[in-house]
């Protein structure tokens, strides 16, 4: 205890030690803030990457997905897998759509012509699939929210709600109910009740060797919102049976959307489904979890976080070198005091422990202050960003380039504890050399030095 007291008196007598303390503080605080922000970005990006992907996707092989019996057997086999709570058929088909009755509010001109859209046919007879769609369609805003969240595809031309919104000349046509992404609906000036025209090519006719063109009107029954802005602008949801009829395809599904039970990992569900369908003629690569489908992007984000932390850890190294220089200067200035301590019977280990105590106090105070400051900034990073943007006009985070509206953060206690311990260890490592130099000093030489 007396050694720490002597070490604290040495530090108080040298204000330059505050520079070393600030170095450790800034290094630890920067790592805490950056790691928490990167964790938040990774969490939000995983939501964006996943989008509407199910836990496990089973791609039905071409040539067999046209067989209704094969598809039904596949569904039954997957439903029997432990940990699977629902299996839904999905059908995707490329299409073009046109809205010539509205004026685009952004460009101020008639937005004519056909534009690409990927139609996703959903099977709302499956409760889990219906529940997820109800969650996605719970958007805010007049004209964008589906009138019935329990049935987002509801359309009744005789109901007064639709009489007030749908063009009378098209209201009784065989309209396909469709859900557009909310950002795309706003861009195209689409509202609930808007009628659009779909056009696509069906399966080729063997006798004519050509692709028949198909065209059908559709009515917007609502909009949906996901975390993936790209998906929202390029995909629309329709009932699966209506899409099959519109496209004129013989296949009822191209893939199966498998949802796992809570508490069961996607990889475990994937492995069980692979085992169940291996004897049914499906290859392992046709059965993938959503992480398998997006693994390259997820790895890139994780690598970016690791590289950022490595770069920031060099701040700790710089603070350590600063601590080394500061303690070396302190040893040079305290030569006579060291000689007096040794002449009074202090051992070399006791002398070394005093300067080790100096380094420990700097490291622990800097690490604790950096941890507290980093956590405080992390928890208030959005107000701080808004303040900086208001004063300087510089926006460090622009929501236009991201799929989330504010800077996301997530504090990982285990990782932060490892960073703090590493900072303490690194700082203590740099105190060994000056402490060892002080303990090796000769008494006579120390007392002679002015």
Q: How far apart are CA 179 and CA 154, in angstroms?
A: 11
C-beta neighbour count of 52 within 10 angstroms: 20
What's the pLDDT at 107? Answer: 37
Name, in order, each residue with C-beta under 8 angstroms of 354's C-beta and a sequence gap of 6 or more. 3, 6, 7, 10, 341, 435, 438
Tell whether the model's pLDDT for residue 155 goes beyond 50. Answer: yes
What letters, b where the CB count within 10 A reaches 16 and e where it falls short, cover 168-178? Answer: eeebeeebbbb
184-238 pLDDT, tens per residue?
Answer: 888 888 888 888 888 887 766 555 556 667 888 898 988 888 777 778 888 899 9
Strands 115-122 and 84-98 come out as antiparallel
Calpha distance 378→402 (Å, rounded): 19
Cα–Cα distance for residue pair 267/289, rounded to 1 Å:
6
Whether the per-residue pLDDT at 108 is higher than 60: the answer is: no
Q: What would the 3-class secondary structure string for 113-173 be?
A: CCEEEEEEEECCCCHHHHHHHHHHCCCCCCCCCCCCCCCCCCCCCCCHHHHCCCCCCCCCC
Task: Determine the 3-state secondary structure of 92 from DSSP.
Answer: strand
Which pair of structure tokens corresponds to residue 174? Answer: 């065989």
- Is residue 35 packed enough to be buried (19+ CB in 10 Å), middle (13-18) or exposed (0-12)? buried
pTM, to two decimals: 0.68
Check residue 261 and report its DSSP letter: P
- What's phi and psi for 59, nearest 5 deg? -85, 120
Distance CA 355, CA 368 (A): 20
Confidence label for 397 from pLDDT (cuts 50, 70 and 90): confident
Length, in residues, of the chain: 450
Q: Check: CB of residue 30 under 8 Å from CB of residue 318.
A: no
Mean pLDDT over residues 301-322, rounded? Answer: 78
List alpha helices for 195-347, DSSP H. 229-234, 240-247, 266-277, 290-293, 295-333, 335-343
Distance CA 236, CA 239 (A): 10
Longest dimension (CA), the chain: 110
For the chain, count helices (H), then strands (E): 16, 9
Average pLDDT of the residues of the chain? 78
Alpha-carbon gap, residue 117 to 450, rounded angstroms: 85
pLDDT at 446: 46
Q: What is the pLDDT of residues 337-361, one digit of tens each?
A: 666 665 666 666 666 677 677 777 7
């Amino acid at each position: 205890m007396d050694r720490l007291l002597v070490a604290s008196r040495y530090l108080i007598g040298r204000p330059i030690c505050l520079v070393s303390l600030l170095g450790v503080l800034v290094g630890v605080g920067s790592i805490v803030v950056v790691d928490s922000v990167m964790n938040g970005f990774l969490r939000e990006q995983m939501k964006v990457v996943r989008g509407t992907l199910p836990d496990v996707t089973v791609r039905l092989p071409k040539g067999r997905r046209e067989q209704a019996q094969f598809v039904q057997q596949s569904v039954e086999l997957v439903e029997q897998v432990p940990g699977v709570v629902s299996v839904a058929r999905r059908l995707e088909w490329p299409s073009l759509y046109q809205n010539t009755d509205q004026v685009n509010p952004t460009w101020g001109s008639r937005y004519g012509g056909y534009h690409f859209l990927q139609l996703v046919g959903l099977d709302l007879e499956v409760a889990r699939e219906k529940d997820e769609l109800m969650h996605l369609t719970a958007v805010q805003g007049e004209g964008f929210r589906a009138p019935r969240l329990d049935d987002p595809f509801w359309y009744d031309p005789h109901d007064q709600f639709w009489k007030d919104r749908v063009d009378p000349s098209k209201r009784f046509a065989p309209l396909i109910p469709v859900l557009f992404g909310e950002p795309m609906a706003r861009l195209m000036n689409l509202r609930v009740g808007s009628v659009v025209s779909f056009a696509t090519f069906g399966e080729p006719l063997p006798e004519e060797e050509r692709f028949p063109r198909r065209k059908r009107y559709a009515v917007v029954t609502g909009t949906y919102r996901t975390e993936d802005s790209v998906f929202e602008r390029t995909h629309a949801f329709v009932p699966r049976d209506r899409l099959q009829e519109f496209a004129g395809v013989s296949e009822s599904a191209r893939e199966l959307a498998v949802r796992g039970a809570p508490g069961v990992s996607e990889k475990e569900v994937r492995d069980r489904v692979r085992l169940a369908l291996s004897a049914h003629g499906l290859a392992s690569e046709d059965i993938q979890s959503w992480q398998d489908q997006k693994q390259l992007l997820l790895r890139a984000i994780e690598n970016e976080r690791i590289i950022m932390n490595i770069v920031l850890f060099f701040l700790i190294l710089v603070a350590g070198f600063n601590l080394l220089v500061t303690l070396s200067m302190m040893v040079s200035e305290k030569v006579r005091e060291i000689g007096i301590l040794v002449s009074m019977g202090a051992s070399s280990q006791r002398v070394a422990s005093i300067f080790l105590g100096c380094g420990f106090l700097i490291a622990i105070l800097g690490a604790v202050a950096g941890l507290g400051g980093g956590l405080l900034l992390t928890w208030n990073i959005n107000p701080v960003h808004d303040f900086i943007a208001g004063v300087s006009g510089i926006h460090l985070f622009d929501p236009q380039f991201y799929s989330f509206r504010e800077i996301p953060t997530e504090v990982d206690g285990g990782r932060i504890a490892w960073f703090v311990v590493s900072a303490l260890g690194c700082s203590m490592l740099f105190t060994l050399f000056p402490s060892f130099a002080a303990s090796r000093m000769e008494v006579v030489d120390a007392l002679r030095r002015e």
